[in-house]
């Protein structure tokens, strides 16, 4: 009798679960049935926002539904991240994630979410090389010469950035950590380029797209790119890692979703985004923005996010960085 009762209960439980499973499977198969929103934690017009809008256009064509970009700046991008993390796990609210989200995991001690555990990696879009540039008045034409000059003049060279905890700041702090040089960080709320061009600050680690014309016209001198290898746009400029062993730092843009988003939806989005990034017209446009188009599987992108979060945690702690 007990055995029959147990079998009956198993049958009831299975019958109860079937509708939920069927609804989940059906939802994934019919996805997307209405517009998809992508949240960007930065103001409109900045490079990641342009990247997001470019990819959204191609993604709309492949998914057959509008993909809408919604800007939610604030708190270093954490407002946007939390909004997506708290959303239903149905694939209709996604986040354009950037490298600074990995910084924030350690930079902000009061977050109500875990960036790595509470999200699902969907797709990589591109990486962003940075380039170490100096005012031409700086008596250094190579990274080793800059290091020699900086060590001979500790605390006398100003390193500009676009703000505390931003990518140019962290990329510069990694350089300081690995070389032991004493550079004075000067954060800006707007672009530091006017002061760098005027010689009021001496060095910065700028996004390639924002610095390349100044380099080509001789208004700034490039000492090295931050990527592991030289970049196609500046093949004559060495990688910093050629003289500082192990140094590598890149920004990146990708798409993540709330935890528990169905695998079928993640795979469909990954395939569609990879196709967009590989499209020759879109790829050319991305390159013109100073980024390097790149595709990954969700698991590969997840591994990168976890590794980057761990890497930049060490830099934030080394430099004692606190958000304003």
Domain that holds residue 277: 34-128+250-319
Q: Is residue 8 part of a domain?
A: no
Q: Is residue 207 part of a domain?
A: yes
Q: Is the pLDDT of residue 121 over 70?
A: yes
Task: Quote the pLDDT of residue 303.
Answer: 98
23-27, 222-226, 227-231: the lowest-pLDDT one: 23-27
In this prediction, residues 7-20 reach a mean pLDDT of 52
In this prediction, residues 96-115 reach a mean pLDDT of 95
9-13, 26-30, 73-77, 309-313: the lowest-pLDDT one: 9-13
Q: Is residue 68 part of a domain?
A: yes
Same domain as 222, residue 74: no
Here the tokens at position 206 are 């700028």
3-state secondary structure of 6: helix
Helix 263-278, helix 47-63: angle, nearest 10: 110
Q: Is residue 274 part of a domain?
A: yes
Q: Which of 197, 221, 242 is the last residue of a domain?
A: 242
User: pLDDT (tens digit, 9 = 90+) per residue, 165-201?
Assistant: 999 999 999 999 999 999 999 999 888 999 999 999 9
State the CATH number of the domain containing residue 163.
Answer: 3.40.190.10
Q: Is residue 22 part of a domain?
A: no
Per-residue pLDDT band at 122 (split at 50, 70, 90): very high
Q: What is the dihedral of CA 262, 267, 269, 270, to 10 degrees?
A: 140
Same domain as 124, residue 255: yes
Q: 82 with 113: CB under 8 angstroms?
A: yes
Per-residue pLDDT band at 8 (split at 50, 70, 90): very low
Task: Quote the pLDDT of residue 134.
Answer: 98
Q: What percentage of the chain's residues is helix, strand, coil (to nearest 5)?
A: 50, 20, 35
Q: 102 with 249: CB under 8 angstroms?
A: no
Q: Which of 242, 259, 279 is the last residue of a domain?
A: 242
Same domain as 204, residue 159: yes
Same domain as 176, residue 120: no
Q: Is residue 17 part of a domain?
A: no
Q: Is residue 102 part of a domain?
A: yes
Same domain as 123, residue 216: no
Same domain as 198, residue 50: no
Per-residue pLDDT band at 5 (split at 50, 70, 90): low
Q: Is the pLDDT of residue 14 over 70?
A: no
Same domain as 174, residue 109: no
Q: How many folded domains does the chain comprise?
A: 2
Select from 55, 78, 86 the least CA-distant residue to 270. 55
Q: Is the pLDDT of residue 220 over 90?
A: yes
Give the residues across from 186 on adjacent strands: 160
In this prediction, residues 289-317 reach a mean pLDDT of 96
State the CATH number of the domain containing residue 87.
Answer: 3.40.190.150
Residue 177's alpha-carbon distances to 180, 217, 244, 255, in angstroms, are 6, 31, 11, 30
Same domain as 305, residue 166: no
Same domain as 57, residue 203: no
Query: Could you give the angle at the alpha carbon of 255 between the alpha carbons of 44 and 228, nearest 5°?
Result: 95
Q: DSSP state, 86?
A: T
Same domain as 300, residue 214: no
3-state secondary structure of 196: helix
Task: Quote the pLDDT of residue 117.
Answer: 97
3-state secondary structure of 274: helix
Q: Is residue 232 part of a domain?
A: yes
User: pLDDT (tens digit, 9 = 90+) per residue, 77-92?
Assistant: 999 999 999 999 999 9
Same domain as 177, residue 79: no
Q: Which of 226, 242, 258 is the last residue of a domain?
A: 242
**pTM of this prediction?**
0.88
Same domain as 88, residue 174: no
């Amino acid at each position: 009798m007990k055995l029959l009762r147990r079998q009956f209960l198993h049958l009831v439980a299975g019958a109860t679960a079937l509708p939920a499973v069927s609804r989940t499977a059906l939802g994934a198969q019919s996805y997307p049935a209405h517009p998809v929103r992508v949240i960007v934690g930065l103001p409109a017009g900045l490079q990641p926002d342009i990247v997001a809008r470019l990819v959204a256009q191609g993604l709309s064509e492949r998914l057959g539904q509008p993909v809408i970009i919604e800007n939610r700046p604030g708190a270093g991008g954490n407002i946007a991240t939390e909004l997506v993390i708290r959303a239903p796990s149905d694939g209709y609210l996604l986040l354009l994630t950037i490298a600074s989200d990995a910084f924030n995991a350690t930079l902000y001690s009061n977050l109500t979410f875990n960036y790595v555990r509470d999200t699902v990696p969907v797709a990589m879009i591109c990486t962003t090389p940075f380039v170490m540039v100096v005012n031409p008045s700086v008596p250094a034409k190579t990274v080793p010469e800059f290091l020699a000059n900086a060590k001979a003049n500790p605390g006398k060279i100003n390193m500009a950035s676009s703000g505390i905890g931003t990518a140019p700041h962290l990329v510069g702090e990694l350089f300081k950590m690995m070389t032991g040089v004493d550079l004075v960080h000067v954060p800006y709320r707007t672009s530091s380029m006017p002061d760098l061009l005027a010689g009021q600050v001496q060095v910065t680690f700028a996004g390639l797209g924002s610095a390349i014309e100044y380099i080509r016209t001789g208004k700034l001198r490039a000492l090295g790119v931050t990527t592991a290898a030289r970049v196609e746009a500046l093949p004559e400029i060495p990688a910093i890692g050629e003289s500082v062993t192990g140094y590598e730092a890149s920004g990146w843009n990708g798409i993540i979703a709330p935890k528990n988003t169905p695998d079928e939806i993640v795979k469909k989005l990954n395939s569609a985004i990879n196709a967009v990034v590989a499209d020759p017209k879109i790829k050319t446009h991305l390159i013109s923005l100073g980024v390097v188009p790149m595709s990954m599987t969700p698991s590969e992108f997840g591994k990168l996010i976890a590794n980057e979060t761990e890497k930049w945690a060490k830099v934030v702690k080394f430099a004692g960085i606190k958000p304003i």
